[in-house]
């Protein structure tokens, strides 16, 4: 393992480095094993002895892995992977259930939301440009492999959602003044669900495109509760309710 290789991996911790090299980092034998079997192209694997073998695998010592790893506790393997380029079909967005993330900036939240999307069979997420980078190492680890199956795009949300609403696609958003999600009329199979920033919620421009405002009520409804839910937690509740409706409607 050369000094240049270490410098490359370190550069990939930064968004600019990932953009420059077109690569991201994944760590851990389970995730890397899934990557090798996926449509993504693994450029290089660094692993402790006996973890991986084959072309493109370099065996390294525990000390070398400590120098390479971007985690607090180094894993037994690390891979550099080519960043996939997905085409966003804007004219069909909302034909199936999709998520739109408006300035979701915490990497852990984004990773968890990608994992939730995978669990609930949601294949498309569109993020505003100010959202966290889905190939940030913290996001990749938090997805637990879901980053391989969920297509994440970046685009200005307001014009995209306005066009979708104009075509008749439902655009849902979560608000404190919205309709109770458990009693509202929603289509569990199609539409776009907007989730807002951790502290500020949905931005004004994006809020104007929402056709159905939803509210996740506390229990009991008149009990004093926390000011709001964590965005990843709220996304899980919303996705579960949408898929429950889809199942109930056959």
Model pLDDT for residues 3-52, shown as the tens digit of each residue = 999 999 999 999 999 999 999 999 999 999 999 999 999 999 999 999 99
For the domain made up of 97-248, the CATH class stated in words is alpha beta
Give pLDDT, residue 132.
97
Cα dihedral 29, 33, 38, 40 sign: positive
Percent of the chain with pLDDT over 70: 97
Residues making up the chain, counted from first to last: 250
Percent of the chain with pLDDT over 90: 89
Collapsing DSSP to helix, strand or coil, 180 comes out as strand
Architecture in CATH for domain 3-82: 2-Layer Sandwich (3.30)
Cα dihedral 16, 139, 123, 160 sign: negative
The dihedrals phi and psi of 119, each to the nearest 5 degrees, come to -60, -40
Contacts of 219 (CB under 8 A, 6+ apart): none
Q: Is the pTM of this model over 0.85?
A: yes
Fold agreement between 3-82 and 97-248: no
CA–chain centroid gap for 104, Å, is 10
C-alpha span between 199 and 219 (Å, rounded) = 22
Q: Where are the domains of the chain?
A: 3-82, 97-248
What order of strands is seen across the sheet that includes strand 57-59? 23-27, 77-82, 42-47, 57-59
H or E segment to which residue 108 belongs: helix 107-119
Collapsing DSSP to helix, strand or coil, 244 comes out as helix
């Amino acid at each position: 393992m050369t000094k240049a290789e270490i410098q490359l991996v370190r550069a990939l911790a930064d968004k600019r480095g990932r953009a420059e090299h077109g690569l991201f980092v994944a760590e851990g034998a389970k995730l890397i094993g899934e990557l090798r079997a996926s449509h993504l192209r693994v450029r290089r694997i660094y692993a402790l002895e006996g973890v991986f073998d084959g072309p493109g695998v370099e065996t390294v010592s525990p000390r070398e892995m400590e120098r390479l790893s971007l985690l607090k506790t180094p894993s037994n393997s690390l891979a550099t992977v080519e960043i996939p380029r997905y085409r966003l079909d804007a004219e069909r967005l909302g034909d199936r259930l999709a998520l739109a993330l408006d300035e979701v900036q915490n990497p852990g939240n984004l990773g968890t939301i990608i994992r939730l999307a995978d669990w609930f069979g949601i294949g498309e997420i569109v993020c505003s440009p100010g959202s966290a980078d889905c190939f940030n190492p913290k996001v990749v680890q938090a997805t637990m492999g879901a980053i391989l199956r969920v297509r994440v795009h970046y685009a200005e949300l307001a014009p995209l959602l306005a066009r979708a609403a104009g075509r008749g696609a439902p655009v849902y958003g979560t608000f404190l003044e919205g309709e109770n999600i458990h009693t509202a009329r929603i289509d569990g199979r199609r539409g776009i669900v907007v989730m807002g920033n951790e502290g500020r919620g949905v931005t004004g421009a994006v809020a104007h495109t929402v056709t159905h405002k939803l509210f996740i009520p506390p229990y009991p409804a008149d009990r004093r509760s926390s000011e709001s839910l964590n965005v990843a937690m709220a996304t899980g509740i919303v996705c579960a309710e949408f898929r429950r409706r889809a199942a109930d409607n056959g």
